[in-house]
Structure 1
Amino acid sequence: MDKFFQKIPFIDNILKGIGQIMLQENRWTGLLFLIGIFMGSWEGGIAVLLSTSVGTFTAMKLNYDKSEINAGLYGFSAALVGVALSFIFQITIVIWVLIILGGALATIIQHFFIVKKIPVFTFPFILVIWISVFMLHHFTQIPPSEMISAEAEKLDYDELIAPINGFGEVIFQGGILSGVIFFLAVFISSPAAALYGFAGSVLGAYLSHINGEPVDQVHMGLFGFNAVLSAIVFSGFKKINGLWVLLSVLITVGIDDFLIDHNLLTEVGGVLTFPFVAGTWITLLIQKIFIPKKEN
């Protein structure tokens, strides 16, 4: 298989870009993510392939660093733009055009921060979606997708299913099967990242549950996916990694619950992965302040 990807590196870059959604530079992780997305919606699968391809192609045409392109660093924000727009809105010509333009724009924004050596994670995706949703809501009549307009299934809170669903919701996928596939996709790349991600999702779901968040939404993983990403960022095999995971998850969950409870970002599409980005920024700042550079 390695020979195949060497012959067609563009496919390898796309799969790694999708895998980087959960910070994994692994083509097989990306492939499993893609399968999970297609299981939820063929339109979502096509959208994520299109936007990731556009993002990667844009990086190539603008002569961005080849090693960064090969690592998938210009694919994950673009990938999330595609899957988000196809999840939020019914697919129309306008949405397909935005998926293409948004994928390219997310890549350009990503490059700006990479050059500045600023770790922004999924922030380019967030900016593109916030702007897109605001514009579409105010200047078009495109209705929401069936997935987002459907009434959430009423299920009892479950301590195991909720954290697994947190993995699925990172890429806008509901259902236990998608969550399991995404968990396994991360596990084959980094067992530590997968297990810390699961622990983060457990903690996120539990804290939001005792904070009085809607049980059905907790069950769906809507209060766990940001914690999954924060935990993955700081995962590792050293004892100190556990402390940073715990701190980042606590901060992320606090930001997540606060923003949702006060409906602060509803008009622009919701919190998305902003609590993860903000929580990770704060944790990295704390690291920088309290840990000497040579030990960090």
Structure 2
Amino acid sequence: MPAAGQAVRPMGPGPIAVGRASLHGIAQVTLSANPWTGLLFLAALFADDRWLGGYGLLGTLVSTGAAAALRTARDGRLGQGLEGYCGCLVGIALLVRLGASWRTALLVVLAAAVCSILTAAAVRLLGLAQLPVLTAPYCLVASVLAMALPSNAAAAPTPVAAATGVSMADLGHAFCDNIGQVFFLDKWYAGLIVLAGLLVTSWRAAVVAACGSAVAVLTAWAMGLPADRIAEGLYGYNAVLVAIALAATFLTPTRWTTGYAVLAAVASVPLTTAWTAVVQPSGGSPFTWPFVVTTWLFLAAAPAMDRPGMPYEKAK
């Protein structure tokens, strides 16, 4: 994922450089490369739960360190944090599924290291199609482990498309939690800290993330999805990432590309719902697959459209 903010200086593989790259890596979960954004995201993780912060940081450090040790990163990817964000997410995902323990920590170390290998492979393979890696390595590792490992968490109810009443409180929580659930955060104020982190990187990234969240809430409500799950942000976090990717990162900002991003955000909501229904019986989760697939499809279609802002800039 390319940086949606400042340029990052090349770095060596030393411990200090790996630590600095890890902050960039946490920020790159939302396609940013600002270390202050990474710090705010880390603060949001610890504000929600200290274990989320610890395991997210562990996964980021391991994935970044593995890429540095194996020298899989090229063209400044390590310094931009592009080798750490998948490790961050897989660390959090394993904690949520298995709970905090030394076994979970060991699995995080192994899974985050594998993420660095898969990222290197994805860069080469997806580069042929001029598509960004996004969170695909994390999704692949997390999906395999989710189906293979037992869970300490209570099974979530299967979503049903039945009409439900959504209160103003539900809408407010949904708006914040759509943003927070990018990091599995379920406290509304943690989502606002994440939004503040985006604002540090780019006002446009923060605005489109907020718009993506609002679009997801309206779409889920129009689909008649359960109010409690709308409020938890389970249908909207992919839309937030899709909006950031298309409206603030890959496509040149124009009215056309903004509308295109809104359409993509809308499309990600039913895709998230369908993906959840398919994988839940086997113990899986959609993770950010709907974001990855939606973004790939809309970016792949972009060069065929003779519109301002198309095609997109090639991603790293």
Q: TM-score, normalised by structure 1?
A: 0.88
Q: What is the aligned-residue RMSD (CA, Å)? A: 2.6
- Ranges in structure 1 where 5+ consecutive residues have no aligned partner: 150-154
Find the partner of 1:122 among 120, 131, 135. 135
Find the partner of 2:80 among 71, 77, 81. 71
Distance apart, 1:295 and its partner CA: 4.7
Find the partner of 2:291 among 242, 264, 276. 276
Rounded Cα–Cα distance in structure 2 between residues aligned with 1:102 and 1:252: 27
Task: Work out whether residues 166 and 225 of structure 1, in 8 Å CA contact, stay in contact via their aligned partners in 2.
Answer: yes
Find the partner of 2:39 among 8, 31, 46. 31
Distance apart, 1:120 and its partner CA: 2.8
Question: Relative contact order: is structure 1 or structure 2 higher (C-alpha 8 Å, sep ≥ 6)?
Answer: 2
Seen in structure 2, the aligned counterparts of structure 1 residues 90 and 294 have a Cα distance that, compared at 3 Å, is closer
Q: How does 1:130-145 map to 2 (within 5 A)?
A: 130-137=143-150, 143-144=152-153
Find the partner of 1:176 among 180, 188, 193. 188
Counterpart of 1:269 in structure 2: which amino acid? G
> What is the CA deviation profile of residues 237-277 of structure 1, one whole-angstrom value per residue up to 9, with x for unaligned ones?
422221221121122122112223xx201124311111111
Seen in structure 2, the aligned counterparts of structure 1 residues 243 and 294 have a Cα distance that, compared at 3 Å, is closer
Q: Please name the residue that 1:229 is paired with.
A: 241
Q: How does 1:12-91 map to 2 (within 5 A)?
A: 12-63=20-71, 64-65=73-74, 67-91=76-100
Task: Give SS of 1:164's match.
Answer: helix
Find the partner of 1:95 among 104, 107, 111. 104
Rounded Cα–Cα distance in structure 2 between residues aligned with 1:69 and 1:214: 41
Please say which of residues 13-22 and 264-273 is displaced more in the overlay. 264-273
Rounded Cα–Cα distance in structure 1 between residues aligned with 2:172 and 2:146: 33
Query: How many residues get paired?
Result: 282
Rounded Cα–Cα distance in structure 2 between residues aligned with 1:88 and 1:176: 21
Find the partner of 2:278 among 264, 286, 295. 264
Seen in structure 2, the aligned counterparts of structure 1 residues 295 and 204 have a Cα distance that, compared at 3 Å, is closer
Please say which of residues 230-239 and 26-35 is displaced more in the overlay. 230-239
Task: Work out whether residues 49 and 79 of structure 1, in 8 Å CA contact, stay in contact via their aligned partners in 2.
Answer: yes
Seen in structure 2, the aligned counterparts of structure 1 residues 32 and 257 have a Cα distance that, compared at 3 Å, is same
Task: Work out whether residues 38 and 44 of structure 1, in 8 Å CA contact, stay in contact via their aligned partners in 2.
Answer: yes
Q: Please name the residue that 1:244 is paired with.
A: 260
Seen in structure 2, the aligned counterparts of structure 1 residues 59 and 175 have a Cα distance that, compared at 3 Å, is same
Q: How does 1:186-225 map to 2 (within 5 A)?
A: 186-225=198-237
Counterpart of 1:241 in structure 2: which amino acid? T
Rounded Cα–Cα distance in structure 2 between residues aligned with 1:37 and 1:239: 34
Q: Does 1:254 align with 2:270?
A: yes
Task: Give SS of 2:24's match.
Answer: helix
Rounded Cα–Cα distance in structure 1 between residues aligned with 2:301 and 2:261: 13
Rounded Cα–Cα distance in structure 2 between residues aligned with 1:200 and 1:46: 28
Rounded Cα–Cα distance in structure 1 between residues aligned with 2:180 and 2:308: 35
Distance apart, 1:159 and its partner CA: 3.1
Task: Give SS of 2:149's match.
Answer: helix
Distance apart, 1:291 and its partner CA: 4.0
Please say which of residues 206-215 and 283-292 is displaced more in the overlay. 283-292
Task: Give SS of 2:171's match.
Answer: coil
Rounded Cα–Cα distance in structure 2 between residues aligned with 1:243 and 1:125: 29
Rounded Cα–Cα distance in structure 1 between residues aligned with 2:116 and 2:278: 26
Rounded Cα–Cα distance in structure 1 between residues aligned with 2:233 and 2:152: 24
Distance apart, 1:66 and its partner CA: 5.8
Task: Work out whether residues 156 and 219 of structure 1, in 8 Å CA contact, stay in contact via their aligned partners in 2.
Answer: no
> What is the CA deviation profile of residues 137-166 of structure 1, one whole-angstrom value per residue up to 9, with x for unaligned ones?
3xxxx6228xx88xxxxx945433321211
Task: Work out whether residues 25 and 72 of structure 1, in 8 Å CA contact, stay in contact via their aligned partners in 2.
Answer: yes
| Percentage of matched positions with identical amino acids | 27
Rounded Cα–Cα distance in structure 2 between residues aligned with 1:45 and 1:172: 11
Task: Work out whether residues 122 and 137 of structure 2, in 8 Å CA contact, stay in contact via their aligned partners in 1.
Answer: no
Rounded Cα–Cα distance in structure 2 between residues aligned with 1:130 and 1:168: 20
Rounded Cα–Cα distance in structure 1 between residues aligned with 2:26 and 2:275: 27
Q: Please name the residue that 2:171 is paired with.
A: 159
Seen in structure 2, the aligned counterparts of structure 1 residues 295 and 127 have a Cα distance that, compared at 3 Å, is closer
Q: Does 1:286 align with 2:301?
A: yes
Rounded Cα–Cα distance in structure 2 between residues aligned with 1:73 and 1:288: 25
